[in-house]
Amino acid sequence: MNGEVVVADEIARDIKCVMESDNEVRKRVKEKSEESRLAVMEGGFSYAAFGDLIDDMLRNKTMKET
Say if CB 39 and CB 45 are below 8 A apart.
yes
In angstroms, the CA 54 to CA 14 distance is 44
Torsion of CA 32, 33, 39, 42, to 10 degrees: -160
pLDDT tens column, 5-64: 889 999 999 888 888 878 888 889 889 999 999 999 998 989 999 999 999 999 998 887
Distances in Å between the alpha carbon of 31 and those of 15, 37, 46, 55? 19, 10, 17, 31
Looking at residue 6, its pLDDT comes to 84
**pLDDT tier at 66 (50, 70, 90 boundaries)?**
low
User: pLDDT value at position 31?
Assistant: 94
User: What is the pLDDT confidence band of residue 1, given thresholds at 50, 70 and 90?
Assistant: low
